[in-house]
Amino acid sequence: MSHISEYEVENILIDRLESIGYSFIKLNTYEDVLANFRAQLAEFNAKKLEEKGHAASFSDTEFNRIMIHMDNHSVYESAKILRDKYILQLDNGENVYLDFFSNDTDRNIYQVTHQVTMDKAHKEDVVYKNRYDVTVLINGLPMIQIELKRPGVEINEAINQINRYRKFSFKGLFRYLQLFVVSNSVQTKYFCNENEMVDGRYNPILKSLVFFWTDDKNTRINDLNTFTSEFFCKPAITEMIDKYMIIKTTEPVLMVMRPYQIYAVKAAKKRVLEVNQNGYVFACTGSGKTLTSFKLAQILRDEARVDLVVFLIDRKDLDDQTVEEYNSFEKDCVDNTDSTRVLIQMLKSSEKKMVVTTIQKMANAAKNPKYEEVMDGYRDKKVVFIIDECHRSQFGSMHAQIQKHFEKANYIGFTGTPIFEKNKGADGRTTADVFHAGDKLDACLHRYMIKDAIADGNVLRFSVEYQRTIFAKNIAVKGIDPEQLDDPEYCKRHNIDMTPLYHDEERITRVAKHIMEHHEQHVHPQGKDTYTALFAVDSIPILGKY
């Protein structure tokens, strides 16, 4: 495949986009982009214009008003404008509310173009002339830019190219770009647009914020053709822009969610709205659980069938940093007072469909007789509780108090350390027991394990020192490879149980002795109590043996 040229890769991609419903349009210069936007925006809002006795087109003065509203904004400001309505005064004196984007796939107009040239002759604030590979337009606005390399060329070259375009030529309507896709056909990634300038300095997109796309089992989808079919199918790309991007309210930052976060939100939403059951998400530490759980809360809040979403946090986790993080997603959303009375006032408010509060205050409100009238009003309501760090024992002990008052509630938990059968505590319950979803459903909605996060580069890798403690000699069993006995999946496939060997008393003694002998190597030189190593075992009883 390495003999395919970049031009051929481009044409194959455009053919694929056309086959899934995109219309190809030839746009050579920025003037062409403007003219196309003018026509598509009028067509997109045709029904509204006709209701005002207006043709499905804009006069020069009307389009000039639109461009005054839309031009010369930062990427962050443009993202907000894209999602808002604009009141346009028509030449006939009528006002019309224009939309720029819809969550309705049947209403939006999807186009694809290529080789648009941006230069100073057509847009005066362009610094250097650039020609772009493939641009996806929705309702005439450039929304996704795809930069391609031929197979064998490093994908980072395309990322560097986009960073140059952002610095020198993505001006005017190209500031409405929401997403970028880079590919060399055999490796494909996506990422979010950002303000090109921050505090007067150029702000390049970091390669750590460039993501692979995966399926719901966290398997990468690298091939451009398969990626295009899934990522760019019209419902998927519309949902991505509408639901799975975040415009932070306290700082000018635009973010896009990673695949595992999106799959977790979708699974939880389906469990609540379609199955009316509970569940939990198992996502390792550092993978962005807070953002995922908060986005789920926002999406459920906007559902007509949901009366109230309550985001529960443990009191010990509600520090200034946590409050700041939640408020960055939605300003002043957190009730971080110590007063249960403030929570009750929020529950009384007809305007508040989402409440962020502590488990302790909610449990207190549920059991205190003086709040009974307010709490009883929610007995028959569709309430969804989203519990952050749901492995906490506090939630387990307070679950019954909350559950008693919210008879039709659903519970969705997020944890990086779920409690399983083998490590359950004194109350005998696992995380799956607390978030029981019926006998036929897996309580765990989605899994994103540490091995997935390390592979994706989302968390720091471990520096592992290998010391073989089990030696396989003279295995005469046909088809068994002794070199693969370290692999749990291999053992599982061949019905080999290594547990007795790992738990052998002599092995445990030797491992413990090795740790003691090399203790000094794994302590930070600045202090004897600062350790630089991690010791993990498979159960509490075995830890006791060590």
Output 189 or 208, whichever has higher pLDDT: 189
Residue type, 146: I
Output 27 or 531, whichever has higher pLDDT: 27
Q: How far, rounded to the nearest angstrom, does the alpha carbon of residue 471 sit from its chain's CA centroid?
A: 43
Span 420-447, average pLDDT:
85
For 22-36, 212-226, 388-402, which range has the lowest pLDDT when averaged over its residues? 388-402
Q: Positive or negative, the Cα torsion across 287, 290, 291, 297?
A: positive
For 223-237, 245-259, 515-529, which range has the lowest pLDDT when averaged over its residues? 515-529
pLDDT at 441: 93
pLDDT at 438: 84
pLDDT at 1: 54
- pLDDT band with cut points at 50, 70 and 90 for residue 7: confident
Span 282-292, average pLDDT:
89
Collapse the DSSP code of 4 into the 3-class scheme (helix H, G, I; strand E, B; otherwise coil) and give the result: coil
Kindly state the DSSP code that residue 542 receives in the 8-state scheme: H
What is the 3-state secondary structure of 319-385? CHHHHHHHHHHCCCCECCCCCHHHHHHHHHCCCCCEEEEEHHHHHHHHHCHHHHHHHHCCCCCCEEE
Buried b (16+ CB within 10 A) or exposed e, 239-259: ebbebbbbeeeeebbbbbbbb
Q: What is the percent of the chain where pLDDT is above 90? A: 56
What are the chain's domains?
Answer: 6-256 (3.90.1570.50), 259-450 (3.40.50.300), 482-545 (no CATH)
Span 321-342, average pLDDT:
76
Kindly state the helix (H) or strand (E) to which residue 415 belongs, with its residue range.
Answer: strand 410-415
pLDDT at 394 over 80: no
Strand positions, DSSP E, 8-165: 23-24, 86-89, 95-98, 110-114, 117-118, 130-131, 134-138, 141-148
CA dist 370 and 374 (Å) reads: 9
Q: What is the percent of the chain where pLDDT is above 70? A: 94
pLDDT at 449 over 60: yes
Q: pLDDT digits over 154-197, tens only? A: 999 999 999 999 999 999 999 999 999 999 999 999 999 998 88
Output 495 or 271, whichever has higher pLDDT: 271
CA dist 452 and 411 (Å) reads: 26
pLDDT at 439: 83
Span 133-150, average pLDDT:
97
pLDDT at 4: 83
Structure tokens given for 431? 């995380």
pLDDT at 2: 58
- pLDDT band with cut points at 50, 70 and 90 for residue 259: very high
For 56-65, 446-455, 478-487, 524-533, which range has the lowest pLDDT when averaged over its residues? 524-533
Mean pLDDT, the chain, integer: 89
pLDDT at 424 over 90: no
- Phi/psi of residue 197, each to 5°? -120, 135
Query: Of 16-25, 191-200, 292-301, which has the strongest mean pLDDT?
Result: 16-25
Query: Rounded to the nearest 10 degrees, what angle do helices 340-348 and 359-367 cross at?
Result: 80
- pLDDT band with cut points at 50, 70 and 90 for residue 350: confident
pLDDT at 418: 87
pLDDT at 147: 97
Sheet of 110-114: strand order equals 23-24, 110-114, 134-138, 141-148, 179-183, 188-192, 210-212
Collapse the DSSP code of 82 into the 3-class scheme (helix H, G, I; strand E, B; otherwise coil) and give the result: helix
pLDDT at 466 over 60: yes
Structure tokens given for 48? 């509204």
pLDDT at 318: 67
Nearest CA-CA partner of 41 in 92, 97, 80, 2 = 97
pLDDT at 498: 83
pLDDT at 221: 96
pLDDT at 127 over 70: yes
pLDDT at 69: 98
Kindly state the helix (H) or strand (E) to which residue 540 belongs, with its residue range.
Answer: helix 540-545
pLDDT at 246: 93
Q: What's the CA angle centered on 135, arms 25 and 170, to 5 degrees?
A: 125
List Cβ neighbours of 166 (8 Å cut-off, separation of 6 or more): 193, 196, 204, 205
CA dist 75 and 415 (Å) reads: 34
Residue type, 55: A
Residue 277 and residue 271 in contact, taking contact as beta carbons nearer than 8 Å: yes
CA dist 245 and 319 (Å) reads: 26
